[in-house]
Amino acid sequence: MEKTNKIFPGKMVFGFFLSIVMTVLAAIVFYTDFTSSVKLWIIGALAIFQAGVQLIMFMHMNEGKSGMINTINIVYSVFIAAVIVAGSIWILSTGHAAHY
């Protein structure tokens, strides 16, 4: 898994390239004429993808003896994050709570 003696940091440059591309793409999508919700889905997906790039290419998430634990930990945290965000929005924007 290691390439300790490699001089050219190819993986990092590629990761950087990907994140720039995705940021620019997000900006471009922003200026298109899709409806807001379509745009949101696209840029949301780009954000998630870019986070994955950072985690794997820059943060070496699955490296070392605890790589598996790290991965489970992050996946679980992301699941909790989704529950918190989606749950809160759902609960607080439907029902009477929305029309206080």
Question: Interface with another protein by CB under 8 A: which residues?
Answer: 1-2, 4-7, 9, 12, 15-16, 19-20, 23, 26-27, 30, 36, 39-40, 43-44, 46-47, 50-51, 54-55, 57-59, 61, 63-66, 69-70, 73-74, 76-78, 80-85, 87-97, 100
Tell me the H-state helices in the chain: 10-31, 36-53, 67-93
Shortest distance in whole angstroms from residue 84 CB to another protein: 5
**What residues have CB less than 8 Å from 62, skipping those under 6 apart?**
56, 68, 70, 71
Shortest distance in whole angstroms from residue 9 CB to another protein: 4
- Token pair 């379509």 is found at 38
Shortest distance in whole angstroms from residue 23 CB to another protein: 6
CA distance 73 to 69: 6
Shortest distance in whole angstroms from residue 54 CB to another protein: 5
What is the rounded (10 degree) CA torsion for 10, 78, 90, 100?
-100
